[in-house]
Amino acid sequence: MLDLAARWLRSFGEGYYTIGSAGHEGNAAVAAALRPTDPALLHYRSGGFYCVRAAQAAGGFPAAPEGRPDGGDDPDDAEPEASTDPDRAGPDRPAPTPTADPTLVTDPSPVTDPSSADGPSSVAGPLSEPDAEVPAEVVPVPAEVAPDAGGPAPGATPARSGETPDDPESVVPLPTGAGVTAVADGEAGTGLPALPTPDPDDGYVQAARDVLRGVVASAREPIAGGRHKVFGHADLAVIPTTSTIASHLPRAVGMGLALERLRRVGGGRRPGAAVPEAGGDGAATSPWPADAIVVCSFGDASVNHATATAAFNTAGWYDHTGLRIPVLFVCEDNGLGISVRSPKGWVEATLRARPGIRYFTADGTDPVETYRVAEQAAGWVRRHRRPAVLHLTTVRLMGHAGADAETAYRSPAEISADLARDPLLATARLLVATGYATGEELLARYDERGWQVRRIAEEVLDEPKLASPAEVVAELAPRRPARLSRALADAAARAAGPNAGARAEAFGGKPPELAGPLTLAQSINAALADGMLDHPGMAVFGEDVAAKGGVYGVTKGLRDRFGAARVFDTLLDETSILGLGLGAGVAGMLPVPEIQYLAYLHNAEDQLRGEAATMRFFSRGAYRNPMVVRVAGLAYQEGFGGHFHNDNSVAVLRDVPGLVIAVPARPDDAAPMLRTCLAAAAVDGSVCAFLEPIALYHTRDLYADGDGEWLDEYAGPGAWAARHVPIGRARVYGVGSAEDLTIITFGNGVRMSLRAAATLADEGIGSRVVDLRWLAPLPVADIVRESSATGRVLVVDETRRSGGVGEGVIAALVDGGYVGAARRVAGLDCFVPLGPAARQVLVSEEAITQGARTLLAR
C-alpha cells in the first residue's frame, strides 16, 4: 500500500521516491524474530521490517522471544548437513508448500566454535575477547501470532495492482471500498469514505506516516527531516543507511565488534536509559542493551560489491581469530539488480562459501518459514555472539521503481510467476486455510488500511518542506567552539587532578612535558596517550599500529600501555578499517583508525563521504559518527617514491561536506590540534581527518643541521587550555618586518616557506607566513586579514594545481573582498614519481623564493 501511495504521489509531482518493498514483505517476519532494541541497518526494500519494528515499539506486536521456553539446548547448535533439496525456493524456483520445515545449513567447513569445550578459552584481541556464550532470559514463546496482534502478515492484502505502467506520470490507484470512487490527479479529499482519523498510537499508522513523509520530503519526517527517503528512527533503533549498494555492511561489522567490547566492559545500556556523550571521565556506553545483536539487510546484487566482500571477509577474519561479532546479515534475494539477473545459484554459493559466517536460508515468501528460521538465526547469533547470514529468497513486484518498465527485460511469464508467489497472497491463503479470517474479512481490512494510507498520504502533502539553506545544513556538522573549549579545560583539570596518578603510571613516571623537545611523531604519540587516558571509549587501530607501533613509530608503546583491546592491528583493508570506526562510533566509542598512507584512503573514501559524514545529516543529529581518522600522507619522502607512498591528493577529502581536515606541520601544533579533533568528535560527533605529513615526522632542524628548531616542548595539562587550537584558525609567523609579503601555506610548505622567507629577509623583504593548519574548514577570516595586511599574497600549495588547496584559498580571497596582488606556486598535475624525479613536479624552496620575487616585481 505504501508503494502504491508513493507512486500515486509521484504521478502528480508530489512524491520523490518510488523504490518500494513489494514482494519483500517477508522481512517483516525477520523483524518479528528480533527485539526492538536490536540495532538495524535497513536497505530500501525493508519496509515490512520497519513497520513491524514500529508496531513492536508501540506495543502492537509481540517482541521476539527472550529464549527457549524449555531452557534447553537449541537443536540449531548442531552442525546439520547442507540442504540439497531441489525444491528449495529461490529466484529461479517455485516456492515449496507453506508447511515445509525451515532449512538451516552451515558453512561446509565450519570454524571451530571458540566457546565450545574443545575450543580455545581465551584469545586476546581488538575490542572484544571470546568467552562462553551469553545466557538468554527464558520466557514463553508464543506458538502463533494472534490475528489481532497486528503486523504486516495478519490481515495483509490478498491481491495487489499489477505491473506498473510504463509512463511514470500515470496515476496509480489505491484500493477502493464498495461505492467509493477513487481520487485521480491529486484532488485530495474527493470521494473519501467517512473513516475515523487514524489512531496515532497505532504503530503501523506511525510507520506509514514516517515512510510517506520521506516520500514527499516533509521536514517533519522523523529521521532525515526531508533530506532523503531512508528507513530510520532513533526510538526504533533503526539507523539510516545512505546507500543501497552494501556500503553500510562494514559499519554493521564495526557495530557488532564494538557492542561486544562494550558488553564485556559493562558498557551495555538498558532500553530507555539516557546515552551520555563520549569522552570525559565516564566509560563509553552503548545505546543498546548488552546482549543486543546487529541486523543488516541488503539485496542479492549487493553481494558482489567490494564493500560487501570487505564486510563478510572482516566478520569471518575476526571469527577465525576467536573474536566475537554478533551480526545477522539478511540478504533479500529477488534475483535482480534493477535489470541485471543474479546468476542461478550464485548468491547461495557466495554466501555459503564465507568462512566464519553461519548460513541460514528460508523462503521469504512464506511468512511461517521465514519467522521460524529468522528466530533460529537471531537466537544463534545472540547466544554465540558470532556472525550469521540469513538468505531470504523473495520476489520483486511492480518493478525496481515507478519509472521501471520490467517488460523490457522480463517476460510476462516471469512477472506472472512472481505475482503468484506474492508473500501477501501467501499470508492471506494461510490465514483463510487456518480459519483466522475469511477472504471477505481480509479484503475489508485491506480496503480499510488502504484508505488509512491514502488519508495519511494526503495529510503529509501539506506538511512543510525544508525551505532555506540554513534548514538543510543545520545538522550537517554543528560547531560549538565554546563547549569545545570547556571540554578541553575539563580534560586538562582531570589530567592534572584525579587522573594524575594514572597519567604518571602510563608514561612510566616521566610525562612527555618532561622529556625535552619532541619531534612531530613523538608529539602525536604523546597526545594519543593523553587522549586514551581521558577517553575510556577511545580505541586506536589500523595496519601495523599495535605490535610494530606504526610503520613510522607514531603509535609506539600504546598497546603496552593500554592493552590489545584498545590498541590493535587490523586486517589490511581500508574499507574494513573505516567500517570498524563507523560502527564503533555509532555504538558509543571514540574510534581513532589509522590509514597507513594517504593513497590507501582512496580505496575506501566513500566510507568517509557516504557513511561517516552523512550520518548526522541524514538523522537530524539523532545518530552521530564521532571519528578521528589519522592519515599519514603528503609527499617529500626522500628515497621513497611512487604515488602510493608519496601522495599529495587531498581534493577528495575537501569535497566532503562537514568533514574536518587538520594538517599539523609542527610538534607544538600537532598535540593541541589532535586534542581539538578528539574533543570535537566527543562533543559534536565530528568526523575528522588528521593528515600527518610523513616527511616531517622525524624532522628536527629548520634552517641548519643541528639547530633543533623544528622540535618543541610538549605542553603539560596546565597549558592545554592556553594552547588550544580552535578548528578553522591559522597560525602566523613574522619573518623580518613582515610587511611586504604574505605567504599562505600548510604542511611541508610551512617549513619550506619559513626557509624561503629567511632568504628573502636577507634581501630586505619582510614576510608573514600563514600556516592554514585546517584545510576544512579553511580559516577564511585569517586568510583575508593577513593578506590585506601586505596587499601581496603568495599561495604555496604542495598539492596539485588543479583541484588543489590553493584554488580554495584564492577563491576565499576573492569572496572575502581582497583586492591586492596574488600568485600561486603549486605542484604539477602529475603523480609523484620515484626518486629524484619527484623534485621536478613538487614545490621547492627555490620556486617559492622566485615566486615571491616575481610577485613583488609587479
Annotated active-site positions, please? 645
* Whole-number Cα distances in Å, 22 to 4, 48, 455, 745: 9, 9, 20, 55
Report whether 531 contacts 674 (CB < 8 A): yes
- The rounded Cα 826 to chain-centroid distance in angstroms is 34
Q: Please report the beta strands in 35-122, taking only residues with DSSP state E, as ranges in sequence order.
A: 40-41, 103-104
What single-letter amino acid sits at 521?
Answer: A
CB neighbour class for 194 (10 Å; exposed up to 12, middle 13-18, buried from 19): exposed
Give exposure, 158-186, as e/b (b: 16+ Cβ within 10 Å).
Answer: bebbebbbeebeebbebbbeeeeeebeee
CB neighbour class for 618 (10 Å; exposed up to 12, middle 13-18, buried from 19): buried
How big is the CA angle at 437 (ends 432 and 438), to the nearest 5 degrees? 70
Hey, is 546 helix, strand or coil? coil
How many other CB atoms sit within 10 Å of the CB of residue 730? Answer: 20
**In angstroms, rounded to a whole number, what is the distance separating the alpha carbons of residues 789 and 490?**
37
Q: Which three cell numbers stand for residue 487?
A: 571540554
Nearest residue to 195 via CA among 174, 212, 215: 174
CB neighbour class for 617 (10 Å; exposed up to 12, middle 13-18, buried from 19): buried
What single-letter amino acid sits at 438?
Answer: T
Q: Look up cell 509512463; give the residue.
A: 167
Report whether 610 contacts 669 (CB < 8 A): no
**In angstroms, rounded to a whole number, what is the distance separating the alpha carbons of residues 597 and 603?**
11
What single-letter amino acid sits at 746?
Answer: F
Q: Which three cell numbers stand for residue 707?
A: 639547530
Report whether 624 contacts 675 (CB < 8 A): no
What DSSP state is assigned to residue 175?
P
How many other CB atoms sit within 10 Å of the CB of residue 759? Answer: 17
Nearest residue to 845 via CA among 774, 760, 731: 760
Bridge pairing between strands 336-337 and 340-341: antiparallel
Q: Residue 539: what are its φ and ψ, rounded to 5°? A: -135, 140
Which residues, 6+ apart, have CB-to-CB distance to 857 below 8 Å? none
What single-letter amino acid sits at 848?
Answer: I
**In angstroms, rounded to a whole number, what is the distance separating the alpha carbons of residues 817 and 834?**
41
